């Protein structure tokens, strides 16, 4: 299972994102992402370039709350060359914007709302949405399982897995300890994101460096993958 390190706190890209991506590069991350809010477009472009220069896959997650802003963010993702665009619910319109580019799209299933984003909807809603995403040519889905307001998070992960078939399932938001990593892996997730828990030091509360936090997440991710293969 892949760990996507998000350069974000409270659903916003951190202002010193360029410095932090340089700082964490030696840890061995392969996937790094950011939100569409928090810094200007020029900074996002430079950040994306720097992620690529370090040999990592880039992700941008849309957390804007209006349709116009979400579509504007999709255009930004296309123009700066992000590898994978996460979030949003305007699937057809976003796919049209991304058409002809190499950007893969992973929309939000269910009923996301607000900022920081919370997730409404039932497992049936999530499964139906994920089937629709696959039918529309999306690469997978970005599920805010642990921000659910109407259902058990793991029920949503299992529902998304059923709906997606073999497509890629990313679980984002509040995956902040090894038990949650283990549980979402067992329920069928392919990847997960962590941002705020790294910067707050809450993933490994007895350690002070974000490098130590990241190393522990990577170690737990590896252990989970080995357990699944055993």
pLDDT tens sequence for the chain (230 residues) = 999 999 999 899 999 999 999 999 999 999 999 999 999 999 999 999 999 999 999 999 999 889 999 999 999 999 999 999 999 999 999 999 999 999 999 999 999 988 788 999 999 999 999 999 999 999 999 999 999 999 999 999 999 999 999 999 999 989 999 999 999 999 999 999 999 999 999 999 999 999 999 999 999 998 887 676 54
Tell me what pLDDT residue 223 has.
Answer: 85
Cα(110)–Cα(151) distance, integer angstroms: 11
Give the strand pairing for 8-9 and 12-13.
antiparallel
- Write the secondary structure of 187-209 as one string of H (helix), E (strand) and C (coil): HCCCEEEECHHHHHCCCCCCCCC
Cα(36)–Cα(209) distance, integer angstroms: 26
Cα(24)–Cα(106) distance, integer angstroms: 25
Report the topology of domain 2-229: TIM Barrel (3.20.20)
pTM of the complete model: 0.95
Tell me what pLDDT residue 115 has.
Answer: 78
Q: Give which of 201, 140, 198 is closest to 171, Cα–Cα.
A: 140
């Amino acid at each position: 299972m892949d760990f996507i390190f998000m350069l974000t706190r409270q659903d916003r890209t951190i202002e010193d994102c360029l410095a932090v991506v340089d700082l964490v590069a030696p840890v061995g991350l392969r996937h790094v992402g950011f939100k569409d809010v928090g810094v200007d477009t020029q900074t996002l472009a430079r950040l994306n370039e720097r992620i690529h220069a370090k040999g990592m896959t880039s992700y941008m997650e849309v957390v804007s709350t209006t349709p116009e802003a979400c579509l504007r963010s999709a255009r930004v993702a296309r123009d700066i060359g992000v590898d994978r665009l996460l979030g949003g619910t305007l699937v057809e319109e976003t796919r049209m914007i991304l058409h002809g580019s190499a950007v893969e799209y992973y929309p939000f299933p269910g009923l996301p709302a607000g900022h920081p984003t919370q997730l409404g909807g039932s497992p049936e809603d999530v499964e139906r949405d994920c089937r629709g995403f696959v039918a529309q040519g999306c690469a997978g889905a970005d599920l805010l399982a642990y921000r659910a307001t109407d259902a058990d998070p793991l029920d949503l992960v299992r529902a998304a897995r059923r709906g997606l078939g073999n497509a890629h399932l990313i679980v984002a938001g509040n995956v902040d300890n090894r038990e949650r990593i283990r549980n979402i892996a067992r329920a069928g997730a392919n990847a997960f994101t962590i941002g705020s828990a790294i910067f707050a030091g809450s993933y490994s509360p007895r350690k002070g460096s974000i490098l130590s936090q990241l190393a522990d997440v990577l170690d737990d991710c590896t252990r989970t993958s080995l357990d699944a293969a055993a």
